[in-house]
Chain A
């Protein structure tokens, strides 16, 4: 445990703050990986450049920034059918705080079905298999090993849609646009070999699989990709939550439950 009299400090390679001369707790200047955020980056840097810089420690090339920005647009809103967005709306219709709506989206969107855990594992696969089709075949046809973890064992290959019949048009459009501006080898390779990969799995590529390829192509680690996927899908959650909070719960689905063990039914002759 820490000594009560010791000055506690936070070590960081990301952020430097210089204090105002009259207040050690007020910031005169802040530097992100060496760049003056308020003195130079504001007005010049794009949002995605800041994201990339924060995560990777270097600013992206224009091509990399464009790729990240295009993905950010593609995954900004998975739409109200997506469980994470649905969760955010559940918060909103009851008048829950804004943060709880986004926490709901994060919690539900963290899993292995179209969520950030799926992106993490798909990125690990990209790191292992890269553009080696044989390696992909081995990976995609090997059942996952069940390990003791807070995470359930994946029930489908990461990055693929367990309920899909063919690659969704939106996924194909996204991959096509991204592959055109891709600075690296992964996305063009994915587009070229999509059919083979889908044959290995028997399932179509999902948007999470595209996101995993993009994050890997941009040099993010699986942990960074997981974070970015959570972050970049929040705009849709926020917008749909706000919309439903205005509409109210009476217009929001409540669904029906068929109870299979109703004690009242058992009591009936």
Chain B
């Protein structure tokens, strides 16, 4: 069945295995009575049950809590947090600011985008190895396809402050020896031994831990959605408590203009238009385009989930 018949079949109602609320009576959550069977779940336990429909051990839940807490940084300079803070300084609402900040966290050089790529690479690579594939080949192919490996890359002199606490916790919970964790370290060893010299960062670590507790890329993506949330509210609150408009104000002189010279706006142009270019590379890279080479590595130094060095996204600006 397809076309309008498929739509007609669904008009007005939904067949669901996820849930329903019966006003004044009860609520069913994935086949369980929320207020009877699930009433003692803590929030993260219910959250991951909602995503997966599966139950997790206390140790796994403890690890999931830590994955969130270890990267909640109340630093208003960080881009996604700054969105929440800007909402505070403009006297918007906390929910609007935080919602926007969370949406922004689904980025390609940190956060959601890089996490999905990292866990997907682990799962694909492990499948390849299980059928006799070679790790070096997998790494080469990934590097060729993306110019980097999501979750890897950082100068050896710079550590990721989240790695050791998270590893220590995983070890104490006996969750540090899963096959994906072992694979993550094997990849790191290979990258360090080769000419790439890239270390594992937090994105790779938590992606491997997520895969080891059985999360699919989509489940992991959704699980990680609020991963920065606890750091955002303080940014909003502080900005809201300061005088309005005082968060990172920019003077006119702080906007460095590099565009066309001043010119007159005259009568409408009637000349035939230029023929657009069909070349994809030109179409996607106009002169003022932001280049995303870092996106392929999952890096930006100003974000805690982007620990690989690279070029700045901002044309003409030195790397901070």
CB within 8 Å of B: which residues of A? 1-3, 7-19, 24-27, 31, 33-36, 40-41, 44-45, 57, 59-65, 97, 99-100, 103, 107, 123-124, 126-128, 130, 148-150, 162-165, 183-185, 216-219, 221-223, 253, 255-264
B15 at the interface (CB under 8 A from A): yes
Closest to A53 in B: B265
B190 at the binding interface (Cβ < 8 Å):
no
B113-141 contacts to A, CB under 8 A, are 113, 116-117, 120-121
User: How many residues does chain B have at the interface if contact means C-beta atoms less than 8 Å apart?
Assistant: 82
Q: Is the CB of B3 within 8 A of A41?
A: no
User: Which 3 pairs of residues, A with B, have the shortest CB-CB distance?
Assistant: A148-B120, A34-B260, A13-B259
Which residue on chain B has the smallest CB distance to residue A131?
A: B278
Q: Is the CB of B6 within 8 A of A163?
A: yes
List A contacts of B217 (CB < 8 A).
Answer: 148
Residues of B within 8 A of A123 (CB): 283
Q: How far is the CA of A216 from the CA of B257 in the complex (A)?
A: 28
Cβ of B260 and Cβ of A100 under 8 Å apart? no
Residue pair B261, A34 in contact (C-beta under 8 Å): yes
Docked CA distance A58–B229 (Å): 40
B16 is an interface residue with CB less than 8 A from chain A = yes
- Minimum CB–CB distance for B37 against chain A, Å: 7
Kindly identify which residue among B270, B271, B276 contacts A218, using a CB–CB cutoff of 8 Å. B276
A150 touches B221 (CB 8 A): yes
Bound-state CA distance A255–B11 (Å) is 9
A-B contact count (CB 8 A): 204
**Residues of chain A within 8 A of B19, CB atoms compared:** 259
A115 and B254 alpha carbons, distance in the complex (Å) = 36
The answer to whether B252 touches A18 (Cβ under 8 A) is yes
Q: Is the CB of A150 within 8 A of B112?
A: yes
Residue B274 CB within 8 A of the other chain: yes
Q: Among B120, B274, B289, point to the contact of A219 (Cβ < 8 A).
A: B274
Residue of A whose beta carbon sits closest to that of B95: A100
> In the assembled complex, how far is the CB of residue A15 from the closest CB belonging to chain B, in whole angstroms?
7
A263 / chain B contacts, CB cutoff of 8 Å: 28, 31-33, 37
Contact B12 A184 (CB under 8 A): no
Q: Are the CB atoms of B284 and A2 closer together than 8 Å?
A: no
Given contacts A31-B262, A103-B99, A124-B280, contact A149 B113 (CB under 8 A): yes
In the complex, per-residue mask of B240-262: 1 if CB is within 8 Å of any chain A CB, else 0: 00000000111111111111111
Q: List 14 A-B contacts (CB under 8 A).
A: A10-B255, A12-B257, A13-B288, A14-B288, A25-B249, A31-B257, A57-B259, A61-B270, A61-B273, A62-B270, A148-B120, A163-B4, A221-B289, A223-B284
Residue of A whose beta carbon sits closest to that of B33:
A263
Expressed in whole angstroms, the minimum distance between the Cβ of B106 and any Cβ of chain A is 6
